[in-house]
Amino acid sequence: MSTYIELKAQAEAMLAQAELVRKQELAAVIQDIKAKMKEYGLTTADLGGASTSGVRKLSAKSKSTAPAKYRGPNGELWAGGLGRKPEWVRAVLASGKSIDDYLI
């Protein structure tokens, strides 16, 4: 009967081997995709991608399209929408002032 340590070592070795095979298969798949793209004259834009680097980029948070409703003490703008309030709004409220004093 195998011991826990022996089984753990076997599992780690198998995981390392599986990762190596995954990388090899992935390289073959990428090579095949690139060949088909070249054959058919496709670009990443045709596939819905915007980048040709091969790295998927995370899109930044979208900014609010609502017009600014408040102007902070240093000229900061805030639409007054849902979600977390900007730091300057929290500071104004913490000091006991009214946010209505900053209406545009």
Same domain, 39 and 75: no
pLDDT in tens, 47-60: 886 555 555 555 55
Whether 88 is in a domain gets the answer yes
Q: Are 44 and 52 in contact (CB under 8 A)?
A: yes
Instruction: Name the pTM for this structure.
Output: 0.41
Q: Is residue 14 part of a domain?
A: yes
12 within domain boundaries: yes
Domain limits for position 93: 70-102
Could you report the per-residue pLDDT of 75-87, keeping only the tens digit for each? 889 998 888 899 9
Q: Provide the pLDDT for residue 19.
A: 95
What is the tally of structural domains in the chain? 2
